[in-house]
Amino acid sequence: MVQVFLNIIKLIRILKERGNWKLIRHSRNQLKNFFFCRSGLNKKHSIEVLFYWYHLLKGPEVLIWRLETFGFLFTPEADAKTIEYLNSYL
């Protein structure tokens, strides 16, 4: 349980450092559906969502990878030019 809270803090730090806030503000509903598992292949009931996120936050590497894949987080290697290019389509 303590590890989950430490990983939440780690995730918050990563979001502050590498978060694509322009995309996050632009697609709030998509992100909300991602967190509550309401869309796509990952549909779950309310109680299942709690267990899913608890399991996912035991090791946040997969969650960080998924957020990078969807563009909500920039990769650690991204520079200002890359960030500007990625956000040019918004």
pLDDT tens for residues 24-78? 999 999 888 888 888 877 788 889 999 988 888 888 898 899 889 888 999 888 8
Q: Are 77 and 69 in contact (CB under 8 A)?
A: no
CA 59 to each of CA 7, 43, 62: distance values in angstroms, whole numbers, following the listed order: 7, 21, 7
Determine the pLDDT at residue 12: 93
Determine the pLDDT at residue 10: 93
pTM as predicted: 0.78
- Full domain range(s) for residue 65: 2-89
Determine the pLDDT at residue 39: 80
Domain count for the chain, please give it.
1
